Amino acid sequence: MRIKEHVILSRYTTIGIGGRSRYFIEVANKDELKKAFEFIKNKNLEYFVLGGGSNLLIEDRELNIAIIKPRFSDIKVQGTTVVVGASFKLPILIKTLLEEELSGLEELAEIPGEIGGAVYMNAGSYGREIGEVVEKIEIFNGDQFITIKGDEIGFSYRKTRIKRDWIITRVWLKLSKGTRYRMSSLINTVKIRRRKSQPVGQKTFGSVFKNPEGYSAGYLIDMCGLKGHRKNDAKISEKHANFIINTGKASFSDVLTLMETAQKEVRNRFGIELEPEVIILKEDQDGQKRRDFSCN
């Protein structure tokens, strides 16, 4: 277990925004995770689990919390089942599955992040969600390790019943036998579509808002004329209006301002409320004494 202090979190988010965390605890196995919890309980700290930081907007001041960074990155292939550590990177997993000719996640090609984060968010694209292939997961609830079956996880659109304070440690994926040719041509199609329509390679956290039922959030924001709209170094992508880009030194509040502008304009014009997909991590401050930790 490695405990660091006052760690700059912008390095751990794909949008490159985030202040320092009081503690940053890296855990590589179950014993270390238990010890990390003893530490957190002794210090009476709030905590937050960090995956690949690819769907996160973190406040850019010091947060009096412990960030837990799991480093579980083992992988085992057992027939058509793959048992994978929560910190295994999704793009590397998709490459591995191609080599093993195990099909089921090709549509998720080029989604950054880790398998734990992808399961927590029920990440998906092009008609496929990771929840469709999750057989079971192992989580740590602060006291013990528990296994939860896929059909008990409550996978829905970018949502699960996994509690915010649980830590996913391992995931069992049930895949089907595929062929390298078919799989790689689907992966390539997905990559080409992504590069055409999304600001790939830029500092962003992916989709800002969930698509409201029957609509595309990007289309609604675009119809309000907001593509290219800026607040300092934060900009609504010209390629896809549901992406915000950090073009330099964008701050937490710059991004929030753009999000609020998009919500307000879409509400006024279409009467539709946009719900954030991005997870926002901040401490509420009303008075010196109370420092609540919250995220959506």
Which residues belong to the active site?
Answer: 158, 207, 277
Give Cβ neighbours of residue 144 (< 8 Å, ≥ 6 apart): none
Strand 56-58 and strand 124-125: the pairing is unpaired
Q: How far is the CB of 231 from ligand FAD (least distance, A)?
A: 19
Interacting positions 97-136 with ligand FAD (CB under 6 A): 111-114, 116-118, 120-121, 123-125
Tell me which of 168, 175, 221, 234 binds ligand FAD, using CB under 6 A: 168
* 58 touches 13 (CB < 8 A): yes
Selected range binding ligand FAD among 47-55, 76-84, 142-150, 229-237, rule: CB under 6 A: 47-55
Q: Which residues pair with 284 in a beta bridge?
A: 292
Total site size for ligand FAD, rule CB under 6 A: 31
Contact between 51 and ligand FAD per CB under 6 A = yes
Tell me which of 55, 160, 211, 263 binds ligand FAD, using CB under 6 A: 55
Q: Provide the 10 A C-beta neighbour count for residue 186.
A: 18
Q: How far is the CB of 49 from ligand FAD (least distance, A)?
A: 4
Q: How far is the CB of 287 from ligand FAD (least distance, A)?
A: 27
* 92 touches 135 (CB < 8 A): no
Q: How far is the CB of 166 from ligand FAD (least distance, A)?
A: 6
By three-state DSSP, how is residue 29 classified? coil
By three-state DSSP, how is residue 11 classified? helix
Closer by beta carbon to ligand FAD, 55 or else 103: 55
Q: Provide the 10 A C-beta neighbour count for residue 282.
A: 19
Query: From the centroid of its chain, how far is CA 118?
Result: 6
Q: Please state, in angstroms and rounded to a whole number, the distance separating the CA atoms of residues 143 and 178.
A: 39
Closer by beta carbon to ligand FAD, 103 or else 237: 237
Q: Where along the sequence are the contacts to ligand FAD (CB under 6 A)?
A: 14, 48-56, 70, 86, 111-114, 116-118, 120-121, 123-125, 166-168, 204-206, 279
